[in-house]
Structure 1
Amino acid sequence: MTIVVALLGFQVIARFGMGRSFSWLEEVSRFAFVWAVYFGFIIAAESDRHIRVSLHLDLLPKKARLLMLTLADFLWLVFNAVVIWHGYHFTVSMFEFPYISQTTGINLVWVQMIVPLGFAFMSFRIIQVMVRRWQTGEGPVDTRIGE
């Protein structure tokens, strides 16, 4: 996000301060923002702080809560596998039939590659959380409560 803010800040200064505009800055900052969002997903999955409705989980016994969380995470992993599969094939097709960015001239496969990579890294983190949850017995992190 620091890169995005720095690039957009420079664009504003260049446009209004120097009367000059760089079209590639907005596009590169957009690409960096997409990558930052996916890395945010990975960080949230690592610390088990992703969005979920967990009120009903508090009503369950500890073992049933672990089973429900494991089932939910398993379904999430299945979804991730589908996205990784299709993202991989989409990425391969973009190598075969490149889609070139208008202002930077780069193949957009390098931007789109975050989809299968991000979901693969997120899946790895979900599996780590599942293992840790069964070892420690802890439930999901309540994001309403401070650290």
Structure 2
Amino acid sequence: MLKKITSIIDTIQFLLFVSFVSISFLQVFFRYVLNNSLTWAEEISRYMFIWLVFLGSALCIQRRTHIGVDLLISNFKGLPKKLVLTINDALIIGLMLILLREGLAILPTLWMQYSSALGIPMAYIYASVPVGAALMGIYSLLDIYRIWYKNETASTEGQVD
């Protein structure tokens, strides 16, 4: 189930990225070659990028590829390493719960606010915050499970102590 969700998120990210690059290229072409700027291209590119950041952050947590200082963690083995990694994941979960709560709290007010060029409700854009936070929290919980029940205490994907 988790692999299927990750695969779906990967596919969404791929499509968003290809669309983002294509629309950005079109915008540059229209502006500098045809001297006729696309009014909607910059706005939709920005919104795609916001979604890419939050979905990408969730996948980085799932794959353990976020940048980090592992000098302290690399010196530990066994139980101390598990404890430090668990505390780290617990802090991430706490932050993601705050982001999720606040992201959901702001959404009802944004259904009546529309983007200037596209005319879509801003709630669709700001929904990236609670969606990304929920995914990051779930992946952090699963990381705690991997640390304690599968003995995967490496800070990067594919490395197991």
**TM-score w.r.t. length of structure 1:** 0.89
1:94-133 to 2 correspondence within 5 Å?
Answer: 94-95=110-111, 98-133=112-147
Show the counterpart of 2:33. 17
Instruction: State the one-letter code of the partner of 1:29.
Output: S
Which shows bigger deviation, 49-58 or 112-121?
A: 49-58
Q: Shift of the alpha carbon at 1:141?
A: 3.2
- Relative contact order, CA 8 A, sep 6+: which one is greater? 1
Q: How far apart in 1 are the matches of 2:147 and 2:84?
A: 12
Which blocks of at least 5 consecutive residues in structure 2 are unaligned? 1-16
Q: How far apart in 2 are the matches of 1:106 and 1:36?
A: 18
Q: How many residues align?
A: 142
Show the counterpart of 2:63. 47
Match of 1:79 among 95, 99, 116: 95
RMSD in angstroms over aligned alpha carbons? 1.6
Q: Shift of the alpha carbon at 1:142?
A: 4.1
Fraction of identical pairs, as percent: 25
8 A contact 1:47–1:129 mirrored in 2: no
Which shows bigger deviation, 109-118 or 17-26?
A: 17-26
Which blocks of at least 5 consecutive residues in structure 1 are unaligned? none
